[in-house]
Amino acid sequence: MHVFIGGTASGKRQRVAERYPEARWRDADEMMRRVPGAGAGPAIDDGDTLVISGWLAWLEAELENELENQRENESASADDDRLGRRWREAFTGWASSPGRRVLVLDEVGRGIVPVDPAQRRLRDLMGWLSQDAVRLASQVHYVRHGLTMRLDGKEATAAGRAD
């Protein structure tokens, strides 16, 4: 699995398209529906190179669904754990698949911390999702201002999950 991470309009998509011109692009929502136990959609060719983007939008939609279907007696942390298990299961499967999986992730941890608790939670979840993806990735590239920097996997995973 290969991860490209950077802020909005940083040049991630362009760098991925240059590196993987043969890739088919898929939305995170579509791919997460294909994870076993999630009402999996049609199978995909495991030999394909798939670029999976739209992770922030997927998280926003999941949180919106959670609000609409609020579970009594369950905390946000229980829901966060449930979401985390879902993406970790997907990442683990993709990291070991014969096809190439490229994740395009939005870095949202810089800048002003939102006052709204829901927005802070979204940022936290995106950060945890990114950390889990990086831990399983064989390569990680950070993109900023169109410049790409490879991050060494040993350094990227040695720090562990900082909460």
Q: How much is the CA Rg of the chain, to the nearest whole Å?
A: 16
What domains, with CATH codes, occur in the chain?
A: 2-143 (3.40.50.300)
Q: Which of 135, 130, 129 is nearest to 157 (CA)?
A: 135
The pLDDT assigned to 20 comes to: 97
Can you tell me whether residue 35 is helix, strand or coil? Answer: coil
pLDDT tens track of the chain, all 163 residues? 999 999 999 999 999 999 999 999 999 999 999 876 544 444 566 678 999 999 999 999 999 888 766 655 456 677 788 899 999 999 999 998 888 999 999 999 887 888 999 999 999 999 999 999 999 999 999 999 999 999 975 554 444 444 3
Can you tell me whether residue 150 is helix, strand or coil? Answer: strand
Q: How big is the CA angle at 61 (ends 131 and 50), to the nearest 5 degrees?
A: 55
In the chain, what is the straight-line distance between the N-terminal and C-terminal CA atoms, in Å?
24
Task: Tell me the pTM.
Answer: 0.83
Taking the C-alpha atoms of residue 163 and residue 152, their distance in angstroms, rounded to an integer, is 21
DSSP bridge partners of 142? 5, 149
